[in-house]
Amino acid sequence: MKASDLNAENSGRPPEDRETAKRLAELGCQIGSRRTFAIISHPDAGKTTLTEKLLLFGGAIRLAGSVKSRKAERYATSDWMELERQRGISITSSVMQFEYLGHIINILDTPGHQDFSEDTYRTLTAADSAVMIIDGAKGVEAQTIKLFQVCRRRGIPIFTFINKMDRDAKNPLDLMDEVEKVLGIEAYAMNWPIGMGSYFKGIYDREKRTVERFRPGSSHKTAEAALSGSLTDEEVREGIGADLLAALREEIELLDLAGNTFDRERVSRGEVTPVFFGSALNNFGVPQFLSGFLALAPRPQPRETNLGRLKPDSAEFAGFVFKIQANMDASHRDRIAFIRICAGRYERGMTVVHTRSHRRLRLAQPQQIFAQERTILDEAYAGDIIGVHDNGTLRIGDVLAERDGLEFEAMPFFSPENFARVSIANALKRKQFIKGIRELQEEGAIHVFRDPHLGVEAPIIGVVGQLQFDVLAYRLREEYGVPVSINHLTYGLVRWVAAEEPNLKLLKDSNMSLVVLDKDDNPAVLLLDEWKAAWMSERYGIKFYAEPAVNR
Ligand code: G4P
């Protein structure tokens, strides 16, 4: 099939009959109303608080505090695990959908401790845009930089919310400068704070030229709750005070003259980030942010595939698995694969091709997973995320489509940097141990290697962050009933080699290097660090690769 055939249904060929035309129009309408985004931030910047306010707006939750479990990321390991015990709750935040002003909004959670970030990075592949929250007092922080870079690589639009303006913050002009310099993206202020901390008076909307006034102590439940007016209103001017008014005028003039110009196209290419100021805790600036965001955020966008660009409103269903989570519900011990729909419409019970195995698969009971409730879905559209029960068939990155042979761009690959031998104390638990390791590997939580001289009972596990070992031991014990011991290894790097690499046999297993096989039996070498890898490569004439052949 030629690439151009892929979107043939919608590319000018007149629909055969009225029914088809109606269906396509409905499809376009549904997809056009979708906004699917991820919220990224450094822990403590206010992700939980902002998410909760957005959900409250959309009527998706009734109670503040429903999103609290997201804060797991901020706790010490032990607390994190204690919270994870309540899996039904923690999964609450995987995907959240609500309707607001005619839009269907899908918020993707990016679970946040830096040691769990592989999962976060993969989740970003399912988003069409990102909202970056920055703590006004702290500026751009380490975890934000990493997450930003992943979004940047995908070229998705990034929106900035500078939070906690009700507290003493950095100078707003310096914050704008920091975003530009540290992240290397142009920043355009959509609104501007008037004072900060105990002198925070509100925000000035640069387009409407109006002022929303901050009332301390008020929770600003709705947009109307904030007092708004123009700078010509006597009452507004008095409320702001002469000094802050003069400073505001000066800063706005500076932004108008010397700041970046607003360019919608460049926003959509991720070259300029629109910046909004506010206070999530006080719900201040949040409705303005939401409406500004909705006006600019992209609908589901075409995706690159091996068969050409796939338009979201193509009549054929296509999606990919970006996350797998086992044992989400302790009472069911089931495994859910999260699928981002990239094109077309899902209908309950539809059959699709699992393109890796070329087998047909019935999407029997796709669910929308929200809070502790799971709703069986009758339909979903490009932009939406559905969760399907999986008995071990699906892997991260797998494509499900009406058409066989379709492939999306490869999932980002993150090489493990910490390694340990994991073993069981009780040989009777062997079966559960192997099952647990396999399932956690399929979730993408760990990388499994094996010493060619030893069996699958003695795997070497690689993870990106050390904390993942604690989580691994905890989950094996709690979910599979297998206590394990973890013996850390000194290696800090894995490099793959070609299957036919003749010089591999020159490498002796030592504390400098260890030849292993990865999950697909590709040969790889565990090494101490980059420097040693370069040295060995030269000394033994072996070519090392940073990723397995399938990813290259
Ligand atoms: P996170 O998910 O990004 O980690 O941050 P989270 O929303 O949990 O916010 C971190 C802390 O910052 C919380 O305080 C939260 O109340 C506070 N916060 C969030 N937005 C604002 C804001 O606009 N202004 C002010 N002043 N504080 C804000 P905490 O004391 O750690 O937790 P809690 O006891 O309030 O729940």
Q: What is the pLDDT of residue 369?
A: 54
Q: How far is the CA of 4 from the centre of ligand 1 (A)?
A: 49
* Best residue among 48, 49, 66, 67 to mutate for probing ligand 1, ranked by most atoms within 8 Å of CB: 49
Tokens of 5: 């055939």
Torsions phi, psi for 459 (to 5 deg): -75, 155
Please check the confidence at residue 14 and state whether its pLDDT lies above 80: no
CB 408 within 8 A of CB 312: no
Say how many Å lie between the CA of residue 46 and the centre of ligand 1. 5
The residue ranking higher by pLDDT, 157 or 324, is 157
> 89-103, 136-150, 247-261, 378-392: lowest mean pLDDT where?
89-103
CATH of 303-401, one of 2.20.25.570, 3.30.360.10, 2.40.30.10, 2.60.120.560: 2.40.30.10
Top-ranked range on mean pLDDT: pick from 214-218, 368-372, 416-420: 416-420
Per-residue pLDDT, 257: 93
Q: Per this entry, what is the length of the chain?
A: 552
481 CA to centre of ligand 1 in angstroms = 36
Token readout for 68 is 């609290």
Question: Worst-scoring range by mean pLDDT, 158-167, 365-374, 543-552?
Answer: 365-374
CA of 141 to the centre of ligand 1 (A): 16
Lowest-confidence range among 10-14, 201-205, 456-460, 521-525? Answer: 10-14
Tell whether the model's pLDDT for residue 65 goes beyond 60. no
- Please give the pLDDT value at position 194: 96
Is 113 marked within a binding site?
yes
Summarize the confidence of residues 187-196 as an average pLDDT.
97
- Average pLDDT across the chain, whole number: 84
Side-chain-facing half-sphere of 481: CA atoms under 13 Å: 8
Quick: pLDDT tens for 335-382. 888 899 999 999 888 999 999 999 999 887 666 554 345 566 788 999
Atom of ligand 1 nearest to the CA of 52: 7
Domain residue extents for the chain: 1-32, 47-72+128-296, 303-401, 418-551
What is the atom index within ligand 1 of the atom nearest the CA of 163?
Answer: 23
pLDDT at 230: 86
User: pTM here?
Assistant: 0.84
**Does pLDDT of 529 surpass 70?**
yes
| Share above pLDDT 70 across residues of the chain, in percent, rounded to a whole number | 83
Q: For domain 47-72+128-296, which architecture applies?
A: 3-Layer(aba) Sandwich (3.40)
CA 203 – CA 211 distance, rounded (Å):
6
The interface predicted TM-score (ipTM) is 0.98
pLDDT digits (tens, 9 = 90+) for 322-336: 988 776 655 556 788
Q: Which of 195, 200, 170, 293 is nearest to 251 (CA)?
A: 195
| Nearest by Cα to 271 from 179, 409, 383, 205 | 179
Question: Residue 184 burial by CB count (10 A; 0-12/13-18/19+): exposed, middle or buried?
Answer: exposed
What three-state secondary structure class fits 331? coil
Residue 96 has pLDDT above 50, yes or no: yes
Sorting pLDDT into bands at 50, 70 and 90, what band is 70?
Answer: very low
User: Is ligand 1 within 6 A of the CB of residue 45?
Assistant: yes
Using 50, 70 and 90 to split pLDDT, how confident is the model at 404?
very high
CATH code of domain 418-551? 3.30.70.3280
33 is in an annotated binding site: no
Contact of 320 with 397, CB cutoff 8 Å: yes
Q: Does pLDDT of 170 surpass 80? A: yes
What pLDDT does residue 117 have? 61
Q: Is 111 annotated as a binding residue?
A: yes
- State the distance from the centre of ligand 1 to the C-alpha of 45, rounded, in angstroms: 7
- Least confident residue range of 181-195, 288-302, 303-317, 454-468: 454-468
pLDDT at position 92, please?
Answer: 34
79 is in an annotated binding site: no
481 a known binding residue? no
Please tell me the distance between residue 53's alpha carbon and the centre of ligand 1 in angstroms.
12
Site to probe by mutation for ligand 1, drawn from 44, 83, 109, 138 as the one with most ligand atoms within 8 Å of Cβ, is 44
